[in-house]
Amino acid sequence: MKNSIGSKSPSVSFCIDENGFRWGGHVAANADELLASNRPDNRQREKVQLEAAEQFLRETLSSGPMTSNSVKAKAETAGISNRTLWRAKDTLHIKATKNRGSLDGEWWWRLPAAGEAPRAHAGE
């Protein structure tokens, strides 16, 4: 039963076999605990993905600034999701600057210089 204002109801077991569906007794574990053993550790997976995206950005930007669209395209080809790419960009304090003086105003990403202080999130 869905209930967001009262106390949680106890979990109830069930069985499906050749005789059909049958309810069992109450169990101490909740649904999240019961399902946790069947799914990979999401935090660990996200950490590994973030580390891979950080390494990708370090390597991609090591030879100098690159347009954000180029970085995004390379990340997509490498199997890095947009969300993970942005998290890695923030973690590494990647600098984003807009190409002023041109009509397209393209965004460029670059690694921070040694000793450069991180700034608030800005730009593409």
Residues 82 and 56 in one domain: yes
Q: Mark the ranges of the chain whose per-residue pLDDT is less than 70.
A: 1-4, 6, 34, 36-40, 101-103, 115-124
> Which pLDDT does position 98 carry in this prediction?
87
> Which pLDDT does position 39 carry in this prediction?
65
Residues 71 and 94 in one domain: yes
> Which pLDDT does position 112 carry in this prediction?
92
Residue 118 lies in a domain: no
Residue 90 lies in a domain: yes
Residues 72 and 87 in one domain: yes
Domains of the chain: total = 2
| SS3 state of residue 11 | strand
> Which pLDDT does position 58 carry in this prediction?
96
- Burial of 92-123, coded b for 16+ CB within 10 Å and e otherwise, reads bebbbeeeeeeeeeebbbebeeeeeeeeeeee
- Distance between the two ends of the chain, CA-based, in angstroms? 44
Structural domain boundaries, residue 72 = 42-110
Residue 4 lies in a domain: no
